[in-house]
């Protein structure tokens, strides 16, 4: 498991645990990080 910090344009930070093997995009999408639509699937 890895901790990933996502930072929004305005500076708001979100730190989430992402399982090994999951992409950064999947981690953002699965944790509801704003601004990551991921419509194309990566």
pLDDT average per 10 residues of sequence, the chain (42 residues): 95 96 93 83 62
The pLDDT assigned to 40 comes to 75
| Residue 39: predicted pLDDT | 72
Per-residue pLDDT at 18:
96
- Residue by residue, what is the 3-state secondary structure of the chain? CEEEEEECCCCCEEEEEECCCCCHHHHHHHCCCCCCCCCCCC
Q: Which pLDDT score is estimated for 3? A: 97
What's residue 24's pLDDT?
A: 93
- Looking at residue 33, its pLDDT comes to 93
Closest CA to 4 of 35, 38, 20: 20
User: Taking Cα atoms as reference points, which of 11, 9, 4 lies closest to residue 25?
Assistant: 4
CA–CA separation, 41 vs 29, rounded Å?
10
């Amino acid at each position: 498991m890895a901790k990933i910090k996502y930072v929004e344009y305005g500076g708001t930070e979100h730190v989430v645990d992402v399982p090994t093997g999951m992409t950064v995009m999947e981690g953002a999408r699965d944790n509801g990080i704003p601004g990551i639509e991921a419509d194309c699937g990566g």
